[in-house]
Amino acid sequence: AAIDDHEMGITHIFRGKEHEVNEQCQRTLYEHLGWTYPVAIQYGRLNMPGAVLSKTQIVRAVREGEISGYDDVRLATLAALRRRGFLPEAIRKVILDVGLTLVDSQLSWETICAANRKLVDAIADRYFFVARPVRLTVRGTPPMKEARLRLHPSREDAGERVIPLTAENGAMVFFIQEDDAGGIRPGDVFRLKDLMNVRLVGRDASGLTGEFAGMEVSDVPKIHWVSAAAAEFDVLMPDGSVVSGLAEPAVLSLAPGSIVQFERFGFVRVERITPRPLAVFAHR
């Protein structure tokens, strides 16, 4: 490696401090051959609790099939972070903040997620994704064929997305998240975000039944939703598990690589649309 560095004209070497002994051997070789040794900068180990950063361990895990590749979402490699939707600017800022020091450094997921959130929040369009959907039938709604919602709360120039609304036997059909459905009791009023207020009438094996309770924005719980026209969608989580649910149809027009926010769920990067749509979770 030392001879390769010389032949390739390497002028600066950045290496972990555990290689200080190797450097002395290389310097001896350079002096013997009459070469000028490059500028060498050592740095301490960067640790992330719960993440494997050892190249040796990662290579072994890939070769033995324990993980799918260097971009497996359970890793903290640059390839895995890129796959999840972490921007290069966020990684760069975090690394510059940590700096080069001989002291071992601790880097938390909270820190890197916060840096990325500051960047993607301003550019990520918003969509609804309902994990573990529960059917909600709403009676007495005014005639509506579609809902037009803003793509971004603070960027009017981003435009709108259109959500088709579906009625069955004179009642609107929606799907809400299982966690939200479990917290609603008969008589409770809640708001389908950016659409309408609903009063829960009852529930049975087929889902929830509610009645229209007005369009005005009220001080009631707000939950996200999708209509019966929603598309099946999967989200790959950082632990390798998959959350299945329904997403509004506009998501199917997104290009792979798009970073969006599934409201009340988190930021995701769209990985594919066909054959079955999949996004990779970044962070909340």
The answer to whether the beta carbons of residues 180 and 225 sit under 8 Å apart is: no
pTM of the model: 0.90
Which of 201, 181, 182, 199 shows the shortest CA–CA distance to 190? Answer: 199
Residue 193 DSSP code: T
Q: Are strands 126-127 and 105-106 parallel, antiparallel or unpaired?
A: unpaired
Res 54: pLDDT: 87
Q: Range with the lowest mean pLDDT among 8-22, 62-76, 119-133, 174-188?
A: 8-22
| % of residues, the chain, pLDDT over 90 | 90
Question: Does residue 272 carry a pLDDT above 90?
Answer: yes
Please, what are the domains in the chain?
2-43 (no CATH), 46-120 (1.10.1160.10), 135-145+153-225 (2.40.240)
Res 89: pLDDT: 98
User: Residue 181: enclosing H or E segment and its boundaries?
Assistant: helix 178-182
pLDDT range class, residue 192, cuts 50, 70, 90 = very high
